[in-house]
Amino acid sequence: MQTNPSAGSRTALVGGSTVRIGELAGHGRPTEDQVVTTDQAVIVLDGVSTVTDDQPRGGWYADTLGTAIAELITRETDMDLRRVLAAAIQAVATNHGLVPGSSPASTVAVVRWRADRIEAAVLGDSPVVAIDRDGTLHAVRDDRLARLVDAQPAAREYRELLRAGHGFGDRHRQILQELRDFQGTVVNRSPDGYWIAEADPEAGLSAVTASWPASDLAEILIATDGISAGVEEYGLYSWKELAQACREDGPQAVADAITSAEHEDPAGQRWPRYKVSDDKALVWWPLTSSETPGAERASK
């Protein structure tokens, strides 16, 4: 099992393929994104940032939960991924005395190679994008929180303030706290809320899942929202273009390019967003010989 002791480019052997990983901390704090690999699976987590300095932080939770998921996947090779998530969430909550509603939280995206199929489970806004050998794209995403937040007046207000040039100031931070307070009223509840890894194992059973014949797929992308913003908010890449960039230059170069674009918009006027630059984690998992181009640029 491998975790990310520090941000940067690295590789891991998963399912007989060389997986390439790019990681980059965001603005002003250590990264809260985590990537954990096993012999058959990749787990990407994005610890939910806190507006305050409360402890423990989302990065600790993401690291701890990722390790628990990896250990369970390795031990229980046939367990449904939703049950894996539920059991890992329960174990971390029990071992560390976490209480629903006052626990750190994290998104989770898990991709596992099992027999002749590739399985994915997503909880929160860390998408999985699988690309067939014929170029067909399959996106596995969980947009339940985004739909709820985008409907809030505060979400419109912070974007308008940024577009007007007010920057990431005091009012912006107040709005983020208001949105975080709202999220606390709808987290891990059905049918009108959203689900996230926290201290309620029921969340794991509500993950968005998909599976494909392994022989159909050419490559898989797994990303945190710091990367997906480069596609879905900034328009710097399409998902296919991002995959091509991973093949040619590696996922670390993609993370660097998105961050460079954010630094060219330091006040968030062009791309209104929560923070100047978010943490980034991107995994490129080639399932064919397409892994070879640019491989010499990856570092262990």
DSSP string covering 153-178, please?
HHHHHHHHHHHTT--S-HHHHHHHHH
Residue in the block written with tokens 């596992």: 112
For the chain, give the percent of residues with pLDDT over 90: 84
pLDDT at 163 over 70: yes
Name the pLDDT band for 116 (thresholds 50, 70, 90): very high
Residue 299 has pLDDT above 80, yes or no: no
pLDDT of residue 21 exceeding 50, the answer is yes
Selected residue with higher pLDDT from 60 and 5: 60
Is a pLDDT exceeding 90 seen at residue 73? yes
DSSP state of 270: S
- Average pLDDT (187-195) is 89
Average pLDDT over residues 84-112: 96
SS3 100: coil
* Lateral strand order in the sheet of 208-213: 33-37, 41-47, 106-114, 117-123, 208-213
DSSP-derived letter for residue 279 is: -
Distance CA 273, CA 184 (A): 20
Q: What type of residue is 194?
A: Y
pLDDT greater at residue 299 or residue 196: 196
Q: Evaluate whether 102 touches 145 at the Cβ level (below 8 Å).
A: no
How crowded is residue 151: how many other Cβ atoms within 10 Å of its Cβ?
10
- What digits encode the pLDDT tens for the residues 264-282? 999 999 999 999 999 999 9
Measured CA distances, 248 to 5, 74, 90, 153, 185 (Å): 25, 32, 41, 42, 44
Q: Which residue segments constitute the domains of the chain, with CATH numbers given?
A: 10-143+193-266+274-287 (3.60.40.10)
Residue with tokens 């998902």: 239
Instruction: Measure CA 170 to chain center.
Output: 27
Please state, rounded to an integer, the average pLDDT across all residues of the chain: 91
What is the Cα–Cα distance from 87 to 73, expressed in whole angstroms? 11
Is 57 a residue whose pLDDT tops 90? no
